[in-house]
Structure 1
Amino acid sequence: MTQKDINVVLLNYHNRLQRMYDKQNSMELRERRLTKEVSKIQDNFMAIKEACMEQQRDCKVQKVLRQRRHEMEERVAFEKLLAEELEDTRQRNLSMSEQLKQQRSQKRQISNELMDCIHTLKETTGIYLKQEALPARVQGVVARTGTNCDQWIPFDLGATDTEGFESLFQTLQNANVDVEKWRQLVSLAADFSTTESRSSTTPRKDDAKCIPIIEIDLTSPPNQV
């Protein structure tokens, strides 16, 4: 093999080695570029992922805020409605309280007027009623003062005892007792008892004034009345 041939072979090896070296350098360069691209893509992906997570967190926060705002608006509306209802109730209670005061005042006035009228009739007629027996029964006594002796006419009748009332009226007429005034007194006393029974059961300061005119034990002697 001549020197020329050897040189040709060596040149070929050199060229082949050079191409391999260049190819390796090119591949390393491409690898470095790919690595940079992959790293950049990863960085972008992580940035996008973080942005998505941040956006999701923001969406959740906004959703919670909207829900809380809606609940707050509903609560404010409910409190406003409740305040209006409470004010309406307070006004109704004030009105009812005022009406109740007026009714009590009217009842007291009526009771006082009835008591005055009953007291006047009692003093002028000498007819005494057992107030708490009314209106179911009519109990009492008629006191007649004479020159020689006093006369006492007791009576105890059921409210529907027609025959008993007829007999009593006859007895009263025979004793010169004004039957119409007796009827008027019983009617007023019954009205007074009905008025008192419809009143509140809660004691009041003026209840002490609304006592029966006189309580009579029909079994007692006349001088104990």
Structure 2
Amino acid sequence: MAPRTRRTEALSRDRIVEAAVELLDTSGEAGLTFRTLTERLATGAGAIYWHVANKGELLEAATDGVIAAALTVEPAGAPRDGIRAVALGLYDAIEHHPWLATQLTSQLSRSPWGSVTPRIFEAIGRRVHALGVPEGHRFTTTSALVTYILGAAGQNAANATSAVPHASRAEFLDAVSKAWEELDPDDYPFTRAVAAEVRGHDDREQFLAGVDLVLAGITAVHLPARPGRAG
């Protein structure tokens, strides 16, 4: 029993998860193995298995740790501002950790009873409730926000990793804009019309604009203006 006590003191679960996140950030999911983890932590596999049963559990813990940190936002004055703050926290986390989007998709769909899904739903849903969305509509409203936030942030992360090698984001967007401008005007009139807007747009600002559009829809549907109040 004594050796187990020493192992627990010498190597905590938190340190293992921290090392796993570091490996995921530098090498991706394929680079996270118990062998690479033991090398990074300068320990034996047994000491890690004492805290984490398998790679799946390790990925879940790493995802939960990053999301928990991302959702540590200061309370905002208005629920709408709080939702925007939570959205940006998730956006930044997904942008800084390229592996996170895939893990979130997997965990939200395959194990919504795990810690990650309730953590995200609580952070956004509590503010949806504070907005005044009526009972019976809060789950759908929160789901719409979560779907947009994670989907748009994940797409942005995918854009960053799949862009043309050695090209900056601005150069990539310029290439997209030029290609759209050359589309057949009969088949793609709208896409050609907005091609210039692609060039030089800010991904973060576009993301927040989308959040505001969803919030505007929530306000229009569930929070009609009171009599005598404009808008």
TM-score interval w.r.t. the shorter chain?
under 0.3
TM-score (norm 1): 0.20
Q: Which has the larger radius of gyration?
A: 1
Higher strand share: 1
Identify which of structures 1 and 2 has the higher relative contact order when contacts are C-alpha pairs closer than 8 Å and 6+ apart.
1
Length-normalised TM-score, structure 2 = 0.20
